[in-house]
Structures are given as C-alpha cells and as structure tokens.
Amino acid sequence: MCAQSHLHDSSHTEVSVARQSPNRPDADEPEIDADELEADELDEELDDDTPTAEGAAATGDRSLWTDTRIDPVEIALPSGVGLTLRAYRLSTTLTPTDIGEREEDLFESRARHAVPEDDEDTVIILDDDFPAEEDEDATEEIERRGKHERDEDEDAEADEEEDEEPAEDVPAFLTYKGQLLLFKNAESLVAFVRSGAPNDLAQLDTWDELRERIQPADVAASEEDSYELDLVVENLRGGHDSWDLHLLIDAGEVARDLAYALRLQPVLTALSPGSPLDDLDEALRSAAGGGLGAFRGRRRLKKIGAQQASIGWRTIIGKISAAVDWRD
C-alpha cells in the first residue's frame, strides 16, 4: 500500500510540473474570462467612436445638420479658406440681407453708364386692327376701351402669376449686413453661433436648436459642400484640355448661391441665363454628363475662349471676395 501510494504521489507531481513548465507560453498567465474580454473590446470600440476634433468627417454623424437643415460649407478663396453655414428655405420665409450699409457697387455703376441710350428698353405696340382712317371721336373711344381692357387683362394675369407661381427654395448663408461671414476654424464659428451675435440665419426656425447643440467636432464640410474658387481662374487659363469640369461646375453653383444671398447683382447678371458664363456652364455640364451629350459638350467648350472665361470668373471671384468678412 505504501509503495503504491508513493508511486501515485510521484506521478501526480510529474503531471503538476508538466502543467507549470516554462516551455508553455501561458503557463504563468491567469485564465482570461471570455465575457470580460468581450466587454473590453466593446469599450475600445466605443472609445474609437467618440467624436474628436476631426469631428463628423471621421464618424459620419450628421444628425445635427439633418435635424436643423443647415449645413457647414467650406469655401476656398484667393485670400484663404474659410468655414460658414448655408441653408435652403422658401423665399417667402426669408428676409434678405440688409445691404444698406454696403458701399456703392462701382462695377454696377460702370455697367450702368456703359449702356448706350439707344439700347434702353422701349416697348412699341403695333395694332393692325385699327382702321387706317377714323374720325377723332371714334379713335378716342377705341383707345379708351382698349386701354381699359388691357389694364384689366394685365391685372388678371398678374393675379394668376401670383397664384400659380409657388415659392421656391433659395439659399441663405451665415451673412450680416450684406457680407458673408467666413471663419478660419471650427472653434471660432461655433463660438460665434453660441454667442447670439446678430446674423441673417438667426431668422431660421431651427437656429435655436443649432445654437444649443453645435460642437466644433460637428463642423466638417462634406465633399459636396467644399468649393475651391481659388483654383478656378488658374484652371481656365490652362486651356480647354486641362479644364476640371466638376471644379468649374461646383464653382458656378456656389457663386450663384452666394450672389443671391449677398444680393450681388453684377454676379447674378454675369451668370444669368444666356450669358457667356452660363453658356460655359451648360457646356461643362453636357461634357460631364457622358454619352452623345458629352461629345457635343466638349465641342461647345472648344468654341469658348479660355481668356474671356478666365477674365469673367476673375471678376466674379473678386466681387464675392469683396463681400467677405473674415473672422478668426
């Protein structure tokens, strides 16, 4: 019995030593609970998802902008890159920015004096229904009735137009007294919004919610809301083969939005339907659209003078830059 007991003890000791052998990598490590490991990994994932200074661009969280229907916008101008805010609302719900204190627009003044007197709008009405010869009384009666009927028709048409034309969405930016407020960084933009300082977006129904919730981490413009106006003139000067279609198309879109919001009439006129720069925009869109339309668009682009286009855009960017109020 003693011998057998001794052999059993000896065998047990060898097994124990084998289990604690240093040749086994986890011999001295404590056992790890699977539930604890899973919890630790979950905590690490949550830490990684916590918004940082890089903000919404890293996390993809745009709930603030979706809820308030206001978006951060990044605009690059020759004088620098800045952040601002933009929203689209019905024109009937917005009060335009006040440009009463803005200096007289010299460009508009020069354009006004450049119009020859012979080019002033003149309306000539020709009425072939009038008889060639009539007595004076009959003529006066016809003219009186005709004027009365025309006035009634014009009033009716005006009323119909007011009833039929629905209000449309128009752009509004973070502006004040006819100037665009551009901020060098997200922190300064957030500080301005929270300060309650007067601005034209304060009239929006979601502005108070934005003031309460906005954080620097939220202020990250998406790719579609980033515009490089500083590259437009240089790109146009490079010639047709080097034109960046999407760069120029995006520039046209934001320039129209800014011109409307800032009430820059010369810019609106330069980009109005039928203007040379509007023709350029249509050709760019056709060329970028693909298919047969793209071929025709490229042919139309070849007929547009690069120098003329670059000069026109230089003027537009200059007008927009002059209406910017930079904030640090």
Higher-scoring residue by pLDDT: 102, 263 = 263
pTM exceeding 0.95: no
Q: Return the pLDDT at 5.
A: 43
Q: With 90 as the cut, is the pLDDT of residue 243 above it?
A: yes
Report the percent of the chain where pLDDT is more than 70.
Answer: 62
Q: What is the mean pLDDT of the chain?
A: 77
DSSP result, 222-277:
-GGGEEEGGGHHHHHHT-GGG--HHHHHHHHHHHHHHHHHHT-HHHHHHTSTTSHH
Q: Return the pLDDT at 293.
A: 83
* pLDDT, tens digit, 9 for 90 and up, residues 259-298: 999 999 999 999 999 999 999 999 999 999 888 888 889 9
Q: Return the pLDDT at 118.
A: 39
Mean pLDDT of 197-212: 97
Per the CB < 8 A criterion, the answer to whether 324 and 182 are in contact is yes
Mean pLDDT of 177-192: 97
Q: Return the pLDDT at 271.
A: 96
Sequence-ordered alpha helix ranges (H) in the chain: 2-19, 34-49, 56-59, 63-68, 106-113, 136-164, 186-195, 207-213, 232-237, 245-262, 265-270, 276-289, 291-302, 306-322
